[in-house]
């Protein structure tokens, strides 16, 4: 894992087309702004995990039951 230090309004760039900006730092919370192409999904981890679990459940229910 790459660990970087950034201050408010500083950014990092990933793969020429994704920019992450530190928008605000308040106490122990950091607000980030993410600019990415529309075709690149961006989710908080808990949302991503819920989407992944839902997709797994859907694919399992779509599989035929061997009888």
- Flag whether 44 is in a domain: yes
Domain count, the chain: 1
Our measurement of the distance from residue 46's CA atom to the centroid of its chain's CA atoms, rounded to an integer in Å, reads 9
> What are the structure tokens assigned to 61, written together?
């229910």
Please give the pLDDT value at position 46.
97
Please give the pLDDT value at position 65.
65
- Flag whether 3 is in a domain: no
Give which of 24, 23, 45 is closest to 35, Cα–Cα.
23
Give the structural domain span for 43: 10-60
Give which of 3, 10, 4, 15 is closest to 39, Cα–Cα.
15
Per-residue pLDDT of the chain (67 residues; tens, 9 = 90+): 999 999 999 999 999 999 999 999 999 999 999 999 999 999 999 999 999 999 999 888 877 766 6
CB 2 within 8 A of CB 10: no
- Flag whether 19 is in a domain: yes
């Amino acid at each position: 894992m790459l660990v970087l230090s950034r201050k408010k309004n500083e950014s990092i760039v990933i793969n020429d087309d994704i920019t992450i900006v530190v928008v605000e730092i308040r106490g122990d919370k950091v607000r980030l702004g993410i600019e990415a192409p529309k075709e690149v999904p961006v989710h908080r981890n808990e949302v991503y995990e819920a989407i992944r679990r839902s997709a797994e459940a859907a694919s399992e229910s779509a599989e035929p039951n061997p009888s």
